[in-house]
Amino acid sequence: MNETVIDCQNMETIYSKSLKRPILNGVNCQIRRGEFVVLLGLNGAGKSTLLRSLVGLVPVIKGNIRIDGVVMNSQTLPKIRRKIGMLFQGGGLIPQLSAVENVLCGRLGIRKPWETLFGFPQKDQYLAMELLQEMGLQEHSYQKTSLLSGGQQQRVAIARALIQSPQILLADEPITGLDVMAAKQVMETLLHLTELGITVVTVLHDLGMAMEYAQRAIVIDDGCIIYDGSPDNLPVQFAQLNQAVYK
Ligand SMILES: Nc1ncnc2c1ncn2[C@@H]1O[C@H](COP(=O)(O)OP(=O)(O)OP(=O)(O)O)[C@@H](O)[C@H]1O
Ligand SMILES: [Mg+2]
């Protein structure tokens, strides 16, 4: 369980050359297999940018990222992406498709185009139904996701990420807007995945949930990691951060 699966070395990222300075600046972090890490920070700090960099969606201009020992570059990116499931901020589901169709979309990166020409193979369909059942959503499998509650939609998004059998799950604000019970269900699902050996890195704004569920907290401020350690110290870290911003 001590193997490093995510390794960022002195990483700098930028969205466009016109920007005067990088969004992430000298990020160093090593995350091990099966760890449950929460990423916190104020709006605009760079949390989503860090997750997006880990799947190659933001150019890294300095330093490097290794996933499972492999340095990310244009050649290795397709293989690396197959190891990572991503839950985007806001869900990213296709509202007019059913839950099962959304989950099957997670297979698109794995299947060759001709394999899905006449629909997904039966094996994929069984797997999608099985995952929806695990998420407690079997009754909603054929419902359009726009008609599901926020918590149900998040669990469809988790099933969609899991259908590619990822080693790493990156979740950007998976519990924002959910009530406490729905949020706890999602957090427990994520915790369960770490028990299966999947590494989970999730952005949260809720210190209480971070302290209750995570093993490790990373706080980002203005593109830099300012804290990496036990979630128990988060209230102190945030008190200092708020003091610095709102003084
Ligand atoms: N596509 C983009 N092009 C240019 N700049 C961007 C882009 N996306 C984000 N940024 C900038 O990068 C910085 C970090 O944004 P990011 O979305 O990573 O913040 P965040 O920590 O996830 O914030 P939030 O809590 O609001 O989601 C912000 O200053 C933002 O304006
Ligand atoms: Mg964000």
DSSP codes joined into one string, 42-76: STTSSHHHHHHHHTT-S-EEEEEEEETTEE-STTT
Nearest atom in ligand 1 to the alpha carbon of residue 49 is: 18
pLDDT tens for 70-93 read 999 999 999 999 899 999 877 789
Ligand 1, atom 3, residue with closest C-alpha: 15
Q: Return the ligand number nearest the Cα of 87.
A: 2
- Distance (Å) from CA 230 to ligand 2 centroid: 22
Interatomic CA distance for residues 55 and 72, integer angstroms: 9
In this predicted model, what pLDDT tens digit does every residue of 144-194 receive, in sequence order? 999 999 889 989 999 998 998 899 999 999 988 888 988 898 899 899 999
Examine the pLDDT at 1 and tell me if it is beyond 60. Answer: no
Considering every ligand atom shown, identify the ligand nearest to the alpha carbon of residue 171 and give its number. 2
* Ligand with minimal distance to 13 CA: 1
What confidence category does residue 128 fall into, taking pLDDT thresholds of 50, 70 and 90? very high
Question: Tell me: the pLDDT tens digits for 4-50?
Answer: 999 999 999 988 877 778 899 999 999 999 999 999 999 999 999 99
Could you identify the residue written with the tokens 């149900």? Answer: 152
Instruction: Please name the fold of domain 1-83+168-247.
Output: Rossmann fold (3.40.50)
Which mutation among 23, 25, 89, 175 tests ligand 1's pocket best, with the greatest number of atoms within 8 A of CB? Answer: 23
pLDDT on residue 238: 86
Sign of dihedral through CA atoms 91, 96, 102, 106?
negative
Which residue has its alpha carbon closest to ligand 1 atom 24? 43
Percent of the chain with pLDDT over 70: 95
Q: Residue 104 in contact with residue 49, Cβ under 8 Å?
A: no
AA identity, residue 93: L
Give residues (CB < 6 A) around ligand 1.
15, 23, 41, 43-49, 89
- All CATH 3.40.50.300 domain ranges of the chain, comma separated, are 1-83+168-247
Of the candidates 73, 86, 64, 82, which has an alpha carbon nearest to the alpha carbon of residue 6?
Answer: 64
Q: Whose CA is nearest to atom 17 of ligand 1?
A: 48
Q: How far is the CA of 72 from the centre of ligand 2 (A)?
A: 22
CB 72 within 8 A of CB 64: yes
Sequence-separated (6 or more) residues with CB below 8 Å from residue 193 = 162, 169, 200
